[in-house]
Chain A
Amino acid sequence: MAHRFGVGPRVALFATCINDVMFPGTPKAVVQVLERLGCTVEFPVEQTCCGQMLTNTGYFDAAVPNVRNYVKAFRGYDYIVGASGSCIGAVRHQHPMLAEHAGDPGLAEAVADVVARTYDFSELLVDVLEVTDVGAYFPHKVTYHPTCHSVRVTKVGDRPYRLLEKVKGLELMPLEAADQCCGFGGTFSVKNPDVSVAMGSDKARHVVDTGAEYLVTGDNACLMHIGGLLHRQNSAVRTIHLAEILASTEGGAA
């Protein structure tokens, strides 16, 4: 490990709006893991959302205040972390575009600065803290769905697999057609509900076929969609965020 316990870096937590309201267990798990690894975690209260829902629906002007909030909240931190491949991807890939759209060179400069220090949770662990074994214990069969934005926008690569491999007791079940989108797609899920559900049903079927007890991803939005289908089908498969598995220890549940 690059950082000894208690003297790890200071990290600003980007909770993301959906985790803040709907899945607070995930940012809590990030805090738990990072503090276990010796980091000092701070939560800048000015933060709201990456703005992706507005941007991806075409409402660029309405998304610009989110960019300003993000810069205001996170300027001055060396490390900013969020537990969402999709939200982190939106910050990295869309905030520069939105700053340009706003025609504000000062904002564009600040965005470039903050974006360069923004990490997905799996990246912060593997690349910055240089750790794959975070001391987690999760004695269950799980299957991992590599969410589209974590792979294709944030480009987390095999980091989540490397982290899961080191979890004691965990059995990773291979997922068929893992690289296919689950069909969530933000507002796509309600603007094209029929296609979204058709895609999600195939994903849910593949998940059930693995025999896993848990479906894990790095994005709670995708989990809400696939989990919503599984719950409606009275499936026993539960959904869980990667961070919550990593926070689980032999001493106590996450």
Chain B
Amino acid sequence: MTEQAQRRTPAPPPGTYLGMPTFQKNAKVQLADPQLRSNLRHATGTIRAKRAERVAEVPEWEQLRLAGEAIKNRTLRHLDTYLVQLEESLTKAGATVHWARDAAEANAIVVGLVQAKGVDEVVKVKSMATQEIELNEALEHAGIAAWETDLAELIVQLGHDRPSHILVPAIHRNRAEVREIFLREMKQYGTPAPEDITDSPAELAGAARRHLREKFLRAKVAVSGANFAIAETGTLVVVESEGNGRMCLTLPETLISVVGIEKVLPTVEDLEVFMRLLPRSSTGERMNPYTSVWTGVTPGDGPQEVHVVLVDNGRTNALADPQGRPALRCIRCSACLNICPVYERVGGHAYGSVYPGPIGAVLNPQLRGISSKIDQSLPYASSLCGACFDVCPVRIPIPDMLVHLRHEVAEHKRGHVGVQQTAMAVAGWVLSDHKHFELAERAAGLAARALPNTTHLGPLPWPASPWTRARDLPMPPAESFRTWWRKERGEAR
């Protein structure tokens, strides 16, 4: 039997995130897919307009953003205190707290907890932390099936695919593609989709509902993440739209929540700021349909065994870097993805991580370091247009952080001799002194005089090809401004 046949759940595409080529190479592949570009343009355009409309309704939006930033900064400044307080509160409320330094430890803890219950399947609430640690594959290797119950995550899982967006992981798929996936795959993993299903959203949602229902009712263990964890009370919060989260959080006997350590908030009162910032930034809604709030174990109601796995996985590295720290304020709303002109054109798969888009470009190199090609290329995956900062509900200065990370990459590559290093060394010399600059100007002027009838240069060979493949390059004029000024106004000033 092949490995594919032995699996309990659909296999993801081959390869690993860290083994992916650079953003530039991935982007080229994605750009060549007209269906993807059309799906993304439509989806990001729609959600962007919805967000703008809902944000415009709140006159104190900028104050809310400042409050969100301030609360997160204070929490991160005293993270050690709040985390210990969270552990105490959770324990008092009947939950069991586990600490995980990295993905491997977190996965081992969850696998162990599920095995201890003697079951071979779990239902899952959509969770970025479990995507980040690749929990589903760790469970699969232990013979445990992890079923995604969020509609878009289900589409991704059944499509043998990877998520391409934080909030809408199947944003790269359209209805026709979803119909094909449901028809082909559902019958292999449970209740099949009706043979005569069309691509109407209601029918597709109905098929997912029936497919998931038996899994909800059968499951003994659920795995979730958390949007917020309140230190003062030990309360966890999950914000969602479909009600699948509520099913997972209330029906099974055992609930395991995997939570990044930056999700902690000091008090319940702090939620009022984030419950206003998150839905409007994320889905462009005034409020989200389902907010589940639970504090440990409530006897006779809901899961009677509650575990919380607190995961570091690179977060303390980011915390240690004053320039990188703001990324930990992120509440995973994905407003920066939706507004980003680069994301809109290449989609999430080019970023080599479950965190794509502008936030991914700053978060991944911090969580994973900059030793891989993909992580070295991510800080450059931006035109630095700044639109991401404008929409970020917690004011993460993504453009400044990208520049800071580019500096780290350049330092990491110090000593390498490449085109970029050479070009920057030459540019550095030319621009360091006006006498050097004037020499370069004279060279440009000579080139212009050598080609007196040329106004633009067309396609040129490497190294000019990246510019000139699609864009003409204007010729410099024979006389620079400086030369003109000297001629007209004399040497002195």
Please list the residues of chain A having a beta carbon within 8 angstroms of any beta carbon in chain B.
15, 17, 19-22, 24, 27-28, 42-49, 51, 53-60, 62-63, 65-66, 69, 94, 97, 148-149, 152-153, 179-181, 183-201, 224-225, 227-229, 231-232
Asked if B493 and A45 make an inter-chain contact with CB atoms under 8 angstroms apart, the answer reads yes
Asked if B432 and A48 make an inter-chain contact with CB atoms under 8 angstroms apart, the answer reads yes
Complex interface: chain A residues within 8 A of B470 (CB): 193, 197, 200-201, 229, 232
Report B451-481 CB contacts with A as 1/0, cut-off 8 Å: 0000010100000001101111110110111
Asked if B386 and A148 make an inter-chain contact with CB atoms under 8 angstroms apart, the answer reads yes
Complex-state Cα separation, A188 to B387, whole angstroms: 16
Having A20-B482, A56-B384, A188-B380, one finds 20 other A-B pairs with CB under 8 Å, namely A20-B441, A20-B481, A21-B444, A21-B481, A24-B480, A48-B433, A51-B431, A57-B424, A58-B407, A69-B432, A149-B384, A181-B341, A185-B384, A192-B24, A193-B466, A197-B469, A198-B345, A225-B471, A228-B473, A229-B470
Asked if B472 and A183 make an inter-chain contact with CB atoms under 8 angstroms apart, the answer reads no
Complex-state Cα separation, A225 to B474, whole angstroms: 10
Complex-state Cα separation, A54 to B433, whole angstroms: 14
Asked if B441 and A21 make an inter-chain contact with CB atoms under 8 angstroms apart, the answer reads yes
A sample of 25 cross-chain residue pairs with beta-carbon separation below 8 angstroms, ordered by A number, consists of A20-B480, A22-B476, A24-B484, A48-B430, A54-B427, A58-B406, A63-B428, A66-B431, A97-B400, A148-B385, A149-B384, A153-B386, A181-B341, A186-B384, A189-B467, A191-B380, A192-B380, A194-B31, A224-B473, A228-B456, A228-B473, A228-B474, A229-B470, A232-B471, A232-B472
B405: min CB distance to chain A, Å: 8
Asked if B346 and A46 make an inter-chain contact with CB atoms under 8 angstroms apart, the answer reads no
The answer to the question of B408 belonging to the interface, with a C-beta cut-off of 8 Å to chain A, is: yes
Asked if B437 and A149 make an inter-chain contact with CB atoms under 8 angstroms apart, the answer reads no
Complex-state Cα separation, A191 to B411, whole angstroms: 18
A159: min CB distance to chain B, Å: 18
Complex-state Cα separation, A27 to B23, whole angstroms: 37
**Which listed residue, B23, B345, B472, B485, touches A199 by the CB 8 Å rule?**
B345
Complex-state Cα separation, A139 to B381, whole angstroms: 40
With A20-B480, A21-B480, A192-B24 in contact, do A43 and B485 touch (Cβ < 8 Å)? yes
Complex interface: chain B residues within 8 A of A228 (CB): 456, 467, 471-474
Asked if A188 and B384 make an inter-chain contact with CB atoms under 8 angstroms apart, the answer reads yes
Interface centre among B406, B440, B466, B470 (most CB of A within 10 A): B470
Asked if B384 and A48 make an inter-chain contact with CB atoms under 8 angstroms apart, the answer reads no
Asked if B381 and A192 make an inter-chain contact with CB atoms under 8 angstroms apart, the answer reads yes
With A43-B493, A181-B341, A185-B384 in contact, do A56 and B403 touch (Cβ < 8 Å)? yes
A121: min CB distance to chain B, Å: 14
Complex interface: chain B residues within 8 A of A198 (CB): 31, 345
Q: Is the interface of B mostly helix, strand, loop or mixed?
A: helix
Complex-state Cα separation, A200 to B341, whole angstroms: 10
Asked if B425 and A62 make an inter-chain contact with CB atoms under 8 angstroms apart, the answer reads yes
Closest to A199 in B: B341
A145: min CB distance to chain B, Å: 12
Closest to A148 in B: B385
Complex-state Cα separation, A186 to B436, whole angstroms: 22
**Which listed residue, B389, B403, B458, B467, touches A58 by the CB 8 Å rule?**
B403
Complex-state Cα separation, A56 to B400, whole angstroms: 9
The answer to the question of B209 belonging to the interface, with a C-beta cut-off of 8 Å to chain A, is: no
Asked if B382 and A188 make an inter-chain contact with CB atoms under 8 angstroms apart, the answer reads yes
Asked if B428 and A227 make an inter-chain contact with CB atoms under 8 angstroms apart, the answer reads no
A78: min CB distance to chain B, Å: 15
Complex-state Cα separation, A181 to B345, whole angstroms: 12
Report B369-389 CB contacts with A as 1/0, cut-off 8 Å: 000000000011111111101
Complex-state Cα separation, A44 to B472, whole angstroms: 32
The answer to the question of B394 belonging to the interface, with a C-beta cut-off of 8 Å to chain A, is: no
Closest to A181 in B: B385
The answer to the question of B420 belonging to the interface, with a C-beta cut-off of 8 Å to chain A, is: yes
Asked if A56 and B466 make an inter-chain contact with CB atoms under 8 angstroms apart, the answer reads no
Asked if B383 and A184 make an inter-chain contact with CB atoms under 8 angstroms apart, the answer reads yes
Complex interface: chain A residues within 8 A of B27 (CB): 192, 194-195
Asked if A60 and B407 make an inter-chain contact with CB atoms under 8 angstroms apart, the answer reads yes
Asked if A231 and B456 make an inter-chain contact with CB atoms under 8 angstroms apart, the answer reads yes
Asked if A62 and B427 make an inter-chain contact with CB atoms under 8 angstroms apart, the answer reads yes
Complex-state Cα separation, A9 to B345, whole angstroms: 47
Complex-state Cα separation, A223 to B408, whole angstroms: 30
The answer to the question of B342 belonging to the interface, with a C-beta cut-off of 8 Å to chain A, is: yes
The answer to the question of B78 belonging to the interface, with a C-beta cut-off of 8 Å to chain A, is: no
Closest to A51 in B: B431
The answer to the question of B261 belonging to the interface, with a C-beta cut-off of 8 Å to chain A, is: no
Complex interface: chain B residues within 8 A of A180 (CB): 341, 387
**Residues in B347-405 with C-beta less than 8 Å from chain A:** 379-387, 389-390, 400, 403, 405
B283: min CB distance to chain A, Å: 22
Closest to B403 in A: A56
Asked if B433 and A181 make an inter-chain contact with CB atoms under 8 angstroms apart, the answer reads no
Closest to B323 in A: A97
Complex interface: chain B residues within 8 A of A232 (CB): 458, 470-472
Interface centre among B408, B477, B480 (most CB of A within 10 A): B480
The answer to the question of B409 belonging to the interface, with a C-beta cut-off of 8 Å to chain A, is: yes
**Which listed residue, A56, A63, A185, touches B385 by the CB 8 Å rule?**
A185
Complex-state Cα separation, A49 to B428, whole angstroms: 10
Complex interface: chain A residues within 8 A of B400 (CB): 97
Complex-state Cα separation, A190 to B493, whole angstroms: 35
Complex-state Cα separation, A198 to B27, whole angstroms: 11
Report B23-42 CB contacts with A as 1/0, cut-off 8 Å: 11001100100000000000
Complex-state Cα separation, A99 to B342, whole angstroms: 31
Asked if A191 and B24 make an inter-chain contact with CB atoms under 8 angstroms apart, the answer reads yes
B368: min CB distance to chain A, Å: 18
Asked if A54 and B428 make an inter-chain contact with CB atoms under 8 angstroms apart, the answer reads yes
A166: min CB distance to chain B, Å: 26
With A43-B485, A43-B489, A69-B432 in contact, do A152 and B383 touch (Cβ < 8 Å)? no
**Which listed residue, A24, A59, A192, touches B481 by the CB 8 Å rule?**
A24
The answer to the question of B410 belonging to the interface, with a C-beta cut-off of 8 Å to chain A, is: yes
Interface centre among A46, A187, A194 (most CB of B within 10 A): A194
Complex-state Cα separation, A183 to B31, whole angstroms: 14
Complex interface: chain B residues within 8 A of A189 (CB): 466-467
**Which listed residue, B342, B420, B432, B482, touches A15 by the CB 8 Å rule?**
B482
Closest to A93 in B: B400
Complex-state Cα separation, A244 to B476, whole angstroms: 17
**Which listed residue, A49, A58, A97, A153, touches B431 by the CB 8 Å rule?**
A49
